[in-house]
Amino acid sequence: MPDVTSKTPDRARTRFPGISSRAYEHPADRSALVALRSLTGFDTVLRRMSGLFSERAIRLTYLAGSVRAGENQFRHLHDLVRDASYILDLPEVPELYVVQNPQPQAMAIGNDRPFLVVTTGLLDLHDDEELRFIVAHEVGHILSGHAVYRTMMMILTQLGARLAWVPLGNIGIAAILMGLQEWSRKSELSADRAGLLAGQDPEAAKRALMKMAGGTRLREMNTEAFLAQAREYDAAQDVREGMLKFLNLLRQSHPFSVVRFAEIDRWAKGGEYARILGGDYPRRADDAHAKVTDEVKNAARAYRESWSESADPFIGKLRSVAEGAAGAAEGLFDRLGRRGGSD
């Protein structure tokens, strides 16, 4: 049985000066972010919209009703946030608050001055190296700027609820939200990669995801068996099960645990992770030159690879249609790129 008990790495971790979030972002997440960042004034509009929900008031609520980690409180958590920020070269170390809640949860909140929140249920569930992965996952969200775009999703969700009584009032918003939720799920895969880059312990990352599914009894779990679950889930028995998987996913804010486990296992064993550890990664200084067309092509390629690797018969039925749509999108961006001369 593969060992899934806790182990602390006995080596120094590699730091990534000037690393761009593009280094670890899932292609579908990255293409959306590059496109959004390329829209002049888009971030400004979102920040003004987010002003409807007072970030300062939210922070004051946590300041009053939870425990802020620091030199004298939850020192080990404070050190984990500081270390993750140092390794990923985040300009400012975010604050972290601990909330009494038995549900294991962690989140990054805010746009102008993002901070982290973790629950006591999360602390009780994980060891220090697993927490290092989880904390760095949230730091990755901050480095990618995900909070800014999730603000739009929150606003649209509330707006949709207000328009629910209007005939056809929230259908358009619901369609937009479906797209944003798919992006948000991909952003979780990006943040998992950031967590692995900061922790540099693939087994701790996998343990953390297994515990989110099955609790603390690691000796009752098996990494190969859990990976086999992921393969079984991916395959499905027939088209009907594939459709049910799709419908179940629509209600999820995060990808399912077995999917995240399989994704981080694949990325940890792939060449991209090794190249970044070796110092070969995109720099933040070059972010302004990132091209939307290139990232859309990368996203289409990633989806193609995912479709080709999937044994799901429902995906098989949709593959030809989806590949045609992806090819059309690539061709459209190619033509736009040639006409405009730049992105």
Q: Provide the β-strand partners of residue 98.
A: 67, 118
CA distance 282 to 127: 32
Q: Is 141 exposed, middle or buried (0-12, 13-18, 19+ CB in 10 A)?
A: buried
What is the Cα 237 distance to its own chain's centre? 28
Cα dihedral sign, 174-178-181-187:
negative
Element (H, E) at 116: strand 115-119
Contact 273, 225 (CB under 8 A): no
The residue length of the chain stands at: 343
Burial 315-340 (b: 16+ CB within 10 A, else e): beebbeeeeeebeeebeebeeebeee
* Amino acid (one-letter) located at 245: K
Q: Is 20 exposed, middle or buried (0-12, 13-18, 19+ CB in 10 A)?
A: buried
CA distance 35 to 314: 29
Catalytic status, residue 138: yes
CA distance 25 to 330: 20
Specify the DSSP class assigned to residue 100: -
Catalytic residue among 138, 203, 263, 295: 138
Nearest Cα neighbor of 303 from 331, 333, 282, 324 is 324
CA distance 337 to 128: 47
Contacts of 215 (CB under 8 A, 6+ apart): 125
* Amino acid (one-letter) located at 158: Q
Which residues belong to the active site? 138
